[in-house]
């Protein structure tokens, strides 16, 4: 009976070969890719190496995936900056939950590119507005303390 890791490695190995055929990589190209891991066959790679190799091939063959990844990271960064401006604790689970609520989606990865970009700019503007109000309030407080 196969262990869970064996099943996962078999799945990743199949996925790797599907991606290689979709990308049009020949045997020499595959050997060049495997050489990075000091291997001559995909059977010599562990799960993490297979996953990394699949991810790298996907990035090469699907540039739209890279754009989506960038848009997601930008949104995460903007929500993190907004939480810091509010002096609140920030962690990835909280940030993704805020993004999902703002987009009315159940899963973070199901948010579309246009919505990711609009939310990014919304949170950037919220952060700028918050910082402006904080600076204005601080100036007003310092003026009032000096005038008394």
CB atoms within 10 A of CB 47: 14
Residue 38 shares a structural domain with residue 94? no
Same domain, 55 and 79: no
pLDDT of residue 148: 64
- Residue 96 CB: number of other CB atoms within 10 A? 18
pLDDT (0 to 100) of residue 7? 87
**Cβ neighbours of 31 (radius 10 Å):** 13
- What are the CA-CA distances from residue 121 to residues 4, 125, 126, 127 (Å)? 43, 6, 8, 10
Q: Which domain holds residue 25?
A: 4-61
Q: Confidence class of residue 100 from pLDDT cuts 50, 70 and 90?
A: very high
Shared-domain flag, residues 31 and 78: no
Whether residue 99 is found in the same domain as residue 139 = yes
- Rounded mean pLDDT, 84-102: 94
User: Please, which pLDDT band fits residue 139 given cuts at 50, 70 and 90?
Assistant: confident
- In whole angstroms, give the CA distance from residue 11 to residue 68: 25
1 — pLDDT class (breaks 50, 70, 90): low
Q: Is the pTM of this model over 0.75?
A: no
Measured in whole angstroms, the distance separating CA 57 from the mean position of its chain's CA atoms is 17
Same domain, 31 and 72: no
User: Do 73 and 123 belong to one domain?
Assistant: yes
**Is 26 in the same domain as 69?**
no
Q: What is the average pLDDT across 3-17? A: 88
Residue 62: per-residue pLDDT:
75
Pick from 121, 111, 133: nearest CA to 77: 121
């Amino acid at each position: 009976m196969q262990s869970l890791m064996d099943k996962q490695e078999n799945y990743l190995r199949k996925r790797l070969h599907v991606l290689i055929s979709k990308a049009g990589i020949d045997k020499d190209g595959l050997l060049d890719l495997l050489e990075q891991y000091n291997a001559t066959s995909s059977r010599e790679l562990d799960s993490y190496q297979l996953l990394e190799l699949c991810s790298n091939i996907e990035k090469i063959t699907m540039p739209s995936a890279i754009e989506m990844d960038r848009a997601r990271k930008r949104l995460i960064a903007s929500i993190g900056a907004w939480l810091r401006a509010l002096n609140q604790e920030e962690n990835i689970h909280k940030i993704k939950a805020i993004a999902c609520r703002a987009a009315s989606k159940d899963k973070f990865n199901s948010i579309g590119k246009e919505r990711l970009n609009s939310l990014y700019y919304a949170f950037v503007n919220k952060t700028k507005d918050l910082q402006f109000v904080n600076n204005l309030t601080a100036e007003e407080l310092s003026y009032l303390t000096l005038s008394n």
